[in-house]
Structure 1
Amino acid sequence: MAAVGAAVPFFERQPALPAGGRRGAPSRHHRFLRWRRRGRPSDIRAHHRDDRAGADAGTPARSPSPAPASLLDVGGGPGVHARWLTDSGYRVLVVDPVEKHVRQARDHGLAAAVGDARDLDHVDGSFDAVLMLGPLYHLPDGSERARAWREAHRVVKPGGLVAAAALNRYAKLLDLDSPGALDIAATGLRTRRDGPTTYYHDLAGLGAEARQAGLRDLAVYGLHGPAYEALRAEERRTGRKDLGEQALETALAAARFTDGHPDLAVSSLHLLIVARRPHSAV
């Protein structure tokens, strides 16, 4: 069983999406993560101990190799994550299937190339860490997600880290303003008439996909806590993006409370799974 816990350190330290990013302004998701960082001790690695109950044998993977390690940002878009990683001293290559995103990443001075998570154009063991912070929920077909996981396992070095973001199907049940919540919880699919189908994982299925690709030392983290969906619903109801300090602090307090209660990861809309490629074949 994978360890389950709070937001993983290196992800939680990212800044908000700057102007010129995917939408030119921070998304609600990025704003919340920025707010969540407030009040954290400066030494986050010391604050989050590797003592999660139920972890796979060995210590759960928690952060990539120190800079200047090489990172492959699969589905990295215009470089939202790659920018702060590059600024932190990492050597990052962005791969994205959308040519516009690749051009935007290059405009920010990043190394970027057109590519597909399911068929990466890199030799085995090329990178110290691989990020997939978007592809999984854009691949509703399980066989295609399996291909993406296998490719991430293939191109990361033995002992290297793979971190992937996923959407949690059950968190939508906490959103009273989401008419499709029951369907999403039951099927894991959100189908739009005018857009792509989005896939939502459950925690067990997310861990199973990583293991089937050969990854080990899994840990799953909830990023938002149980109040995020209520915050979103209230924003939509009132038409306001700023609900005031009290509402924000209540949501943040709930998110931080989950740090010591791993079972509450299931209440977070966004999940992060972190794992390692074994040094030897499994």
Structure 2
Amino acid sequence: MCSIEQYYNHDYDEWARLLRHRIEFEITKRALSKFIPEKASVLDVGGGPGRYSIYLAERGHEVTLFDLCEKMVEQATENAKSAGVVLKDCIQGNVLSLCDILPGREFDAILCMGPMYHLLKEDERREAINQCMGLLKKDGILIVSFISAYAPIIDCLKAYPQDIGKLKDSLLRYLEDGRHDSRVAQGFTDAYFFNPADIRGFMSQFKLETLRIMAVESLGVLVEEKLMQLPEEDFQSWLDVFEAVASNPEVWGSCEHLLYIGRKVD
């Protein structure tokens, strides 16, 4: 079992994470609703315990969930049942073998919201996108999620600013080399943090028309807990603000997650 499977199968509650980080969840749902056509066939690669798969199934899409970790697939199956929705499939497998595992399948939209977090090698990150492209219909929508190289700095500011003396060099290093090796740095499993400025160039390698690159948490990331205590109307108004400025590159360094949204052109 690799470190990533160990982390999500045994060490971390991914289902609860998006309750704690509601800005990420709500802004991402807005993006999915805007860019995925009605009654689409959707493949959720790295779908974890099914938060977004269930959201899309509730809105009439035919959703197949795919994840590396056995526990995540089992949880997604149970969570879908609890939500009263049907997922077409819940499949365990590695994104690097996606086309072999799902031969002959095609999808109107593919979410790749997880794999880019955990592939340390450049060629594996390219291959993950190529695998998704191989199953995406012409004119289909690809949505890819990235963890920002600024995320470790933001986390340190929020949770343990007193540790900056010992962490300063490693935090700055992520901006040059986004690799986080769990064998030498604790706190997270193997991960890759993208410099936001590099996302457009990376995704330009593929036959995609870029529709949007956006900061997910945007300017709210450092005060998220405070915002979640506001009345719902005020919280939604802040989401409107964050969504409005999300595509401004000057905002991308402020957030922990970014979304790339593109359309397959060939």
Give yes or no for TM over 0.5. Answer: yes
Q: Indicate how the Cα distance of structure 1 residues 32 and 213 shifts in structure 2: closer, same or farther if over 3 A, else same.
A: same
Matched position secondary structure for 1:146: helix
Q: Indicate how the Cα distance of structure 1 residues 265 and 141 shifts in structure 2: closer, same or farther if over 3 A, else same.
A: same
Percent identical across equivalent pairs? Answer: 26
Tell me which residue corresponds to 1:181: 171
Of the candidates 83, 87, 101, which is equivalent to residue 72 of structure 2?
A: 101
1: CA distance, partners of 2:247 / 2:109: 27
Of the candidates 241, 245, 257, which is equivalent to residue 258 of structure 1?
A: 245
Of the candidates 196, 208, 232, which is equivalent to residue 189 of structure 2?
A: 196
Letter aligned with residue 135 of structure 2: V
**Structure 1 residue 104 displacement after superposition:** 1.7
Tell me which residue corresponds to 2:20: 28
Letter aligned with residue 86 of structure 1: A
Tell me which residue corresponds to 1:12: none
Q: Indicate how the Cα distance of structure 1 residues 64 and 36 shifts in structure 2: closer, same or farther if over 3 A, else same.
A: closer
Deviations 1:186-245 (A, max 9, x none): 3212333455221111234222222213222342110111341x337xx7xxxxx88854
Matched position secondary structure for 1:118: helix
> Are the counterparts in 1 of residues 142 and 262 from structure 2 also a CA contact under 8 Å?
yes
Matched position secondary structure for 1:65: coil
Alignment of 1:133 onto 2:113: yes
**Structure 1 residue 124 displacement after superposition:** 5.5
**Structure 1 residue 24 displacement after superposition:** 4.3
> Are the counterparts in 1 of residues 18 and 25 from structure 2 also a CA contact under 8 Å?
no
RMSD between superposed Cα atoms in Å = 3.2
**Structure 1 residue 266 displacement after superposition:** 2.9
Deviations 1:54-91 (A, max 9, x none): xxxxxxxx601211x10000011121110010010000
1: CA distance, partners of 2:147 / 2:17: 21
Of the candidates 58, 74, 82, which is equivalent to residue 45 of structure 2?
A: 74
Q: Indicate how the Cα distance of structure 1 residues 204 and 88 shifts in structure 2: closer, same or farther if over 3 A, else same.
A: same
Q: Indicate how the Cα distance of structure 1 residues 251 and 206 shifts in structure 2: closer, same or farther if over 3 A, else same.
A: same
**Structure 1 residue 129 displacement after superposition:** 0.6
Alignment of 1:267 onto 2:248: no
**Structure 1 residue 181 displacement after superposition:** 2.2
Tell me which residue corresponds to 2:263: 276
Structure 1 gaps of 5+ residues are: 1-20, 38-43, 46-61, 236-240
Of the candidates 113, 116, 136, which is equivalent to residue 156 of structure 1?
A: 136
Of the candidates 147, 169, 184, which is equivalent to residue 149 of structure 2?
A: 169
**Structure 1 residue 118 displacement after superposition:** 1.3
Alignment of 1:117 onto 2:95: yes
Matched position secondary structure for 2:176: helix
Of the candidates 65, 83, 88, which is equivalent to residue 54 of structure 2?
A: 83
Q: Indicate how the Cα distance of structure 1 residues 263 and 139 shifts in structure 2: closer, same or farther if over 3 A, else same.
A: same
Structure that is richer in helix per residue: 2
Q: Indicate how the Cα distance of structure 1 residues 196 and 151 shifts in structure 2: closer, same or farther if over 3 A, else same.
A: same
2: CA distance, partners of 1:253 / 1:70: 28
Tell me which residue corresponds to 1:63: 35
Of the candidates 125, 134, 149, which is equivalent to residue 145 of structure 1?
A: 125
Q: Indicate how the Cα distance of structure 1 residues 98 and 222 shifts in structure 2: closer, same or farther if over 3 A, else same.
A: same
Q: Indicate how the Cα distance of structure 1 residues 243 and 90 shifts in structure 2: closer, same or farther if over 3 A, else same.
A: closer
1: CA distance, partners of 2:38 / 2:18: 27
Matched position secondary structure for 1:187: coil
- Equivalent pairs counted in the alignment come to 226
Letter aligned with residue 204 of structure 2: R
Of the candidates 202, 205, 213, which is equivalent to residue 209 of structure 1?
A: 202
> Are the counterparts in 1 of residues 23 and 216 from structure 2 also a CA contact under 8 Å?
no
> Are the counterparts in 1 of residues 207 and 264 from structure 2 also a CA contact under 8 Å?
yes
Q: Which has the higher contact order (CA 8 A, sep 6+)?
A: 1
Letter aligned with residue 63 of structure 2: V
